[in-house]
Amino acid sequence: MMMDEKTERLRDKVRRFIDTVAIPLEQPALEKDVAALDAACRHLRTQASAAGIYAPQLPREWGGLGLNWVECATIFEEAGRGMLGPLALNCAPPDQPNMLTLMHLGTEEQKQTYLGPLARGEKRACFAMTEPAPGAGSDPNMLQTRATRDGNGWRINGHKKFISGGVAADFAIVPATTDEGVTLFIVDTNTPGYRVSRDITTVTGYQIGGHAEILLEDCPVPENGVLGQIGMGMKHIQLRLEPARLSHCMRFIGRARRALEIAHDYVQTRDAFGKRLSDLQQIQAMIADSHIDLHASRLLTRECATLMDQGVSVKNESAMAKIFVSEAVNRVADRCVQMIGALGVSDDTVVSCIWREARPFRIYDGANELHRAFLARRILQASITP
């Protein structure tokens, strides 16, 4: 993978940071502890700023390094090697896409009030989209949360579930239906009627703000809480999805690479039945296939990033990348577990955590089955030459 010198230098800096600062802080006890994770995060961000690697994706005016998407591909992968890496660089979900959304849609006032603190790492937000059945799950059109006009503002009623980052968030971006169509609202989480009912435990770890279940009961939102245009929420959401999905690919490639590094070390130092594990062809096949998976994943991701930097729509390319990369990193993580044996299913290395964490990526950002169906329909309808 070729890159310019500037990106290479930055990559090396991030790699050193991850290896010497972020990885040493990893520990199973952090995995599901929202408060401890927030604390680790604050600590790491200070250090990342000092190292000159903070917020690579943000424009310089918001305190970032102003990288384009192709450059981000390299840096997000590098950060992704550390379980705390993207958090340290403030390029982790949900705030990385939240900041994108605010940058695109926010009024000047909203940017100062909400984007600024996110960019500086002073606040955390969540994007409260999904709902329990029969609400919006994989199908956003099933949205049940409702906002009704109330004097100069709005009142929102709804039930949200699996909201990543929702525990102890400072504000939420909430899609709700209105008479004019789906609309995005910014809701301060200390608003009366807004309540996090629980942190849903899942197979993943190191998720900042966990996965919240949230109730909105007659929750008041002022008029300036509307984000973007009234009734244009679905379009605004679409805008967010492609970069969010692609950023996930970048970070997860780093995660899988980390697991593979650990497997490399293991198979080169362990013996069984009189042979070094790395001399066994079944191990070699797993090593080779994992490198092929990561190489192809990077190429699919970089191709998308290149197009995005050119302002070209990447609907099909990002769907292809999402499907391939999410399955590739699952395969890589699974092979790494297998290569390192019992160690791979324990918390003694991060491989088991990476394996668990990769699983939902085949579901989040649209289940791969949905992407397959829609991708095929778009291709066939457009009579795209195969």
Contact set for a second copy, span 273-302 (CB under 8 A)? 273, 278, 280-285, 287-292, 294-296, 299-300
Q: For residues 157 and 97, give the distance between their C-alpha atoms in angstroms, rounded to a whole number.
A: 24
Applying CB under 8 A, among 7, 96, 130, 178 the residue interacting with a second copy is 130
- Residue in 332, 85, 378, 365 with CA at minimum distance from that of residue 246: 365
Applying CB under 8 A, among 151, 192, 311, 386 the residue interacting with a second copy is 386
Query: Are 356 and 344 spatial neighbours (Cβ–Cβ below 8 Å)?
Result: no
Nearer to a second copy, 212 or 227 (CB): 212
What is the crossing angle of helices 69-80 and 233-267, to 10°? 50
Q: For residues 358 and 138, give the distance between their C-alpha atoms in angstroms, rounded to a whole number.
A: 18
For the chain, the distance separating the N- and C-terminal CA atoms, rounded to the nearest angstrom, is 26
Q: How far is the CB of 295 from a second copy (least distance, A)?
A: 5
Nearer to a second copy, 6 or 378 (CB): 378
Q: How far is the CB of 380 from a second copy (least distance, A)?
A: 5
Q: How far is the CB of 104 from a second copy (least distance, A)?
A: 25
Q: How far is the CB of 188 from a second copy (least distance, A)?
A: 26
Applying CB under 8 A, among 63, 137, 193, 220 the residue interacting with a second copy is 137
Q: For residues 197 and 243, give the distance between their C-alpha atoms in angstroms, rounded to a whole number.
A: 30
Q: Which of residues 54-113 bind a second copy (CB under 8 A)?
A: none
- Contact flag: residue 234 with a second copy (CB under 8 A): no
Residues 149/150/154/159 CA torsion (nearest 10 deg): -90
- Residue 115 vs residues 95, 173, 236: alpha-carbon distances, Å: 10, 12, 17
Applying CB under 8 A, among 142, 179, 180, 238 the residue interacting with a second copy is 142
- Contact flag: residue 342 with a second copy (CB under 8 A): yes
DSSP string, 261-273: HHHHHHHTT-EET
In degrees, to the nearest 5, what angle opens at C-alpha 229 toward C-alphas 224 and 232? 140
Torsion region of 383: left, alpha or beta (phi above 0 gives left; psi -120 to 50 gives alpha) = left
- Contact flag: residue 303 with a second copy (CB under 8 A): yes
Nearer to a second copy, 39 or 292 (CB): 292
Size of the site for a second copy (CB under 8 A): 87
Q: How far is the CB of 162 from a second copy (least distance, A)?
A: 4
Q: How far is the CB of 360 from a second copy (least distance, A)?
A: 4
Q: Which of residues 11-40 bind a second copy (CB under 8 A)?
A: 28
Place of tokens 């971006």: 173
Applying CB under 8 A, among 173, 226, 324, 354 the residue interacting with a second copy is 324
Q: How many CB atoms are located within 10 Å of the residue 285 CB?
A: 11
What is the crossing angle of helices 281-309 and 233-267, to 10°? 150
- Contact flag: residue 8 with a second copy (CB under 8 A): no
- Contact flag: residue 159 with a second copy (CB under 8 A): no
Q: Which of residues 188-227 bind a second copy (CB under 8 A)?
A: 200-204, 211
Q: How far is the CB of 316 from a second copy (least distance, A)?
A: 8
Q: For residues 193 and 215, give the distance between their C-alpha atoms in angstroms, rounded to a whole number.
A: 8
Q: Cis peptide leading into 222, omega within 30 of 0?
A: no
Binding map of a second copy across residues 245-264, x = CB under 8 A, - = no contact: ------------x--xx--x
Binding map of a second copy across residues 363-382, x = CB under 8 A, - = no contact: xx--xxxxxxx-xxx-xx--
Applying CB under 8 A, among 161, 240, 245, 248 the residue interacting with a second copy is 161
Applying CB under 8 A, among 82, 317, 318, 329 the residue interacting with a second copy is 317
Dmax (CA) for the chain in angstroms is 79
Q: How far is the CB of 79 from a second copy (least distance, A)?
A: 15
